[in-house]
Every structure is written in C-alpha cells, then in structure tokens.
Amino acid sequence: MTGDPLCPQEPQCPRRRGAAASSRRHRRTEHHPSAAPHPGNTNGTVYGDFVATHVDAMVIGPGHGSPIFLPWHRQYLIEFEQALNRTETARGKPRIALAYWDWTTDREENASPWTDAWLGENSSGLLGQVQRSRFGVPDAELAKVLSEPTLSLLRAAGGIKKVTWEEQEAVWREVVQNLAERPDSLAGRWVIDRTVDSRAFLIRDFDRPLSETLPFGRRETDAEKQARRKYEGEFYRDYGIGLMDMLDLPVYDVFAQRFEDDQHGAVHAELGGALGGMASPNDPAFWFLHSFVDKVWADWQAKQRREHPDAAPYLPVQGTGDILGYRDLFGPWKTMTAEKLINTAEIRHPQYGLISYTYG
C-alpha cells in the first residue's frame, strides 16, 4: 500500500489508497481529553467520544440499517478528520487526509495495512491482543497489569481463549482494575474505550485467511452463485454479491442496503474482534475500512451521473417514520443532510466551512 497521508492547504484534498493519517496522530487523539465527554465515553477522551457516538448509531440509530448509512458515515469521517487536524501534532503541518484500505485488492493478512509500521497484525498475545505496532500491547508488558499467578494460568493454558468464560472475565477485570489504579502503567499504549467491551486492549480475530474470506471486487459468476446457494440454504441471496454487482445497481436505497450488508458488513465480520462489534472504531482499522466505504459510494455516484443522470442520488426523497429523507437533518450532529453530503467536492460544513475532497 502506498500513498502520502498529507496534503497542502488547498481547496481540494485527495484521500488516497494506502497509508492513512499517521498512527501517531491517531494516538494523540485517543489520549486527548474531551471538553464535553459523551455520557457513554468511559475514557473521557476525544477518541472515546467517537467510539461512543458509533455505539449510539448502532443502538438507537440512525447510522446503520437505513439509507442514511452512507451519508451518516461520510459526516462521521469528516468529523474525525477535523479532530485529527486539531491535534497538537497536526498544528502548522500539511493537512491530514484519511486514506482508504481497498479490501478487494489488499487481501493478505501479512501485508499492508496489517504490518508493524501501520495497524499491526492479527491478535497473537496471551490475552488475544494485538502485540505489535503502535496499537499493540506486547505480552512482555502484561506484568504491569496482571499478577504472576494470572500470567501463569494463561501461559499454562496457551492463552485466554483456552480458559473458562468465568476465568476470562476475571482476567479482564484484573486488567481494568490495575489500569484504573495505575493509569500510567501502560503509558503510550493503545488502551481502548470500553464502551461495550470489557477487554481493554485491541483484539482482532482473523479466524480464516483474509484472501479467502473478504468480499471480492468483480461480479459473481453463475457458478459461484450456485455454490453459495448450497451453504446459504433458505437465506440464499438471489443476486450477485461482488462489488461490481453492487455498483451496477441503479437505485440508491437498494445499492445502499446491499452494500452495507454484503460488502461492508462482511468485512467487519471477517476481521472480528473490536471491528466485529458496535464499538468498532476502537480498532483504528475502522477509518481505513470506512474511507473505502465512502470511496465506493463516490464511485457509484460517478457511475450514476454517467449512466443514469436523471436518477435520484438518494432515496427516499421524503422521510417516513424512522427512515430519513434527502433533506432531513440527522443525529447526533443535526447539522447536515444527505443532500448536503452528496458531492464530496462541495460539502459545506456549518462549523468548518468548505470540506472538499476527492479520491485518488
């Protein structure tokens, strides 16, 4: 993966495939205290606010399971990008632009972005935690938050997955208690916001090779559909689930629903760990993943303008019940609508002014 995560202060800033905004800057956002923490933000940090906001979007809406999924996450990315650029590390520097991870081409778990230089590897530690990169906690440092008897139990069992559920709960309680009593014991390490998860460290669970399980970019063949019918049974989806199949869909709400479920959702599930739950932004890979989600929407929009110029860019136009319309403000920000977020080159944010970006 290649790409410069920074761009000059110009009217339009490209989001590129490759290296996302520096891990170092993510870390500064994580540890920076929030001026007005979200009620569900257990760590009281700016990053914790973003985690708690996403949990709300999953539990009470409207960020998932409806056509507003794509506009909601577009604004969410904008808000996070702005937060990164307000950190002390970013001041006076070229503007940070989020980049994306294309899961249809970068499909190996031992390559970018799953390297020590970027996001770290699949979980390999005694606690099932990521050990390497800026976001990992090495087993060698667990003695700072776990007693020797607990470490001996884990070593003898071959890791936390091999002990009973009750023992796992007790281990994580011990970690959390020791972190509370000695908050600087793992200074500089990535300690997640425990909004809906008692595990304090970054967990991933690539239980199968990513190259075999991540959604693919091409169109699904008839033979592949028939093979899939055998294992999906009564839940068989009688349509293509490749990315190109999604991009062929000319109606916005059909495209948005299938893309959310069959591509985006599958990636979250296959990466597992923090990314498999409501507090998925606890894994910084979330921002790589969702920048690609946003890029796919931008690609679909460009295809629509070429092939179906008279088609509605968003449906429904008028909201009904819990389904938001084209011009309805959505929470938690109540500052933008789908209409105002349609064109990435002309987004005007009420607080930050012109937000203009393209994908390169």
Domain ranges, ordered by start, for the chain: 6-118+284-359, 120-207
Q: Is residue 323 a contact partner of residue 352, using CB atoms and an 8 Å limit?
A: no
Task: State yes or no: pLDDT of 177 exceeds 50.
Answer: yes
113-129 per-position pLDDT tens digit: 999 999 999 999 999 99
216-232 per-position pLDDT tens digit: 999 999 999 999 999 89
Q: How far apart are CA 46 and CA 53, in angstroms?
A: 11
The SS3 assignment for 187 reads coil
Nearest CA among 195, 193, 167, 178 for reference residue 46: 193
pLDDT at 197: 82
Output phi, psi for 222, to 5 deg. -60, -40
pLDDT at 183: 85
State the CATH class of domain 6-118+284-359: mainly alpha
Q: How far apart are CA 3 and CA 20, in angstroms?
A: 8
Q: Is residue 52 a contact partner of residue 38, using CB atoms and an 8 Å limit?
A: yes
Q: How far apart are CA 114 and CA 128, in angstroms?
A: 16
222: Cα within 13 Å, side-chain hemisphere:
0
Give the single-character DSSP code of 83: H
Where would I find the beta strands (DSSP E) of the chain? 6-7, 13-15, 95-96, 347-349, 353-355, 357-359
Q: How far apart are CA 307 and CA 312, in angstroms?
A: 12
Positive/negative CA dihedral, 346, 79, 349, 309: positive
Percentage of residues in the chain with pLDDT exceeding 70? 91
What is the pLDDT averaged over residues 23-38?
Answer: 58
How many beta carbons lie within 10 A of that of residue 160, not counting itself? 20
Q: How far apart are CA 317 and CA 255, in angstroms?
A: 15
Please provide the average confidence, as pLDDT, over all residues in the chain.
Answer: 89
Residues 255-264: contacts with CB within 8 Å, 24+ apart? 255/300, 256/67, 256/69, 256/70, 257/67, 259/70, 259/293, 259/296, 259/297, 259/300, 260/64, 260/65, 260/69, 260/70, 262/215, 262/237, 263/215, 263/296, 264/289, 264/293
State if pTM tops 0.95.
Answer: no
Residue 291, exposed/middle/buried by CB under 10 A (0-12, 13-18, 19+)? buried
